[in-house]
Amino acid sequence: MNWSIGELKKKVSAILNIKVKILSRKEVAPNIYLMRLKAPEIVQDALPGQFIHIKCSKDNYPLLRRPLSIHRIDKEKGEIFILFQIMGEGTKLLADRTIGDDLDIMGPIGNGFNIYPESKKIMIVGGGMGVAPLLALCEESIRQGKEVRVLIGALKKELVIGEESFKILGAKVDVVTDDGSYKHKGLVPDLFEGTIKGGWLADQIFACGPKPMLRKINEIALKINIDYQ
């Protein structure tokens, strides 16, 4: 399905508060976890770019829920994936939950990304944990027949996340690390600018990551007049 702005608005539904079961959990990088959840009710209306609010523990501490991006949406199996980094007590408690546990979640929340039907080439840019919502976007873009290029940035090789997952979907992937321990050395905006100068011009650019990275990518996108989200 190709989603226009109008269609996206129509798809916005009531936020559900439900219990979902943990089907798998894996530490994919130091202190970074991938969790698969059985959530058929969420999957029905979930869009790439949306998120869920999770109650991290079995009791009421910590009180506040944690907002986590939906990493992948498997509509056939009724499953969603979340990718998160331990940043405090809440996410530490979440990482310690076990397979078979029920999680109290609210969602889907947010408007999601807007993929234009007329777009033929999509560039997806993720810095650090900014890759979390982008796999679902990549999968939907490729399902719609778009040509997709993905740029991933991380501090070092051990923290590069999702490279193989994007490749399996059929995207061309390039990686940059701050310390040069894997692939290119430098920052995400450097790789982005080099890709543009190399002649790969997208119809749409989607990016998620640290604010300084997003500001720089926004500046470049404005100069070359490419739609940016």
Q: Examine the pLDDT at 138 and tell me if it is beyond 60.
A: yes
Q: Which CATH architecture has domain 121-228?
A: 3-Layer(aba) Sandwich (3.40)
Out of 136-140, 150-154, 200-204, least confident range:
200-204
CB 65 within 8 A of CB 81: no
Please check whether the domain covering 5-109 is classified as CATH 2.170.190.11: no
What is the reported pLDDT for 59?
A: 76
Query: Which of 136, 134, 109, 130 has its CA nearest to residue 53?
Result: 109
Percentage of the chain surpassing pLDDT 70?
A: 93
Percentage of the chain surpassing pLDDT 90?
A: 84
Q: Where in the chain is the domain with CATH 3.40.50.80?
A: 121-228
Q: How many CB atoms lie within 10 A of CB 59?
A: 8
CA-atom Rg of the chain in angstroms: 17
Tokens encoding 111: 């408007």
Q: Examine the pLDDT at 143 and tell me if it is beyond 50.
A: yes
Q: Where in the chain is the domain with CATH 2.40.30.10?
A: 5-109
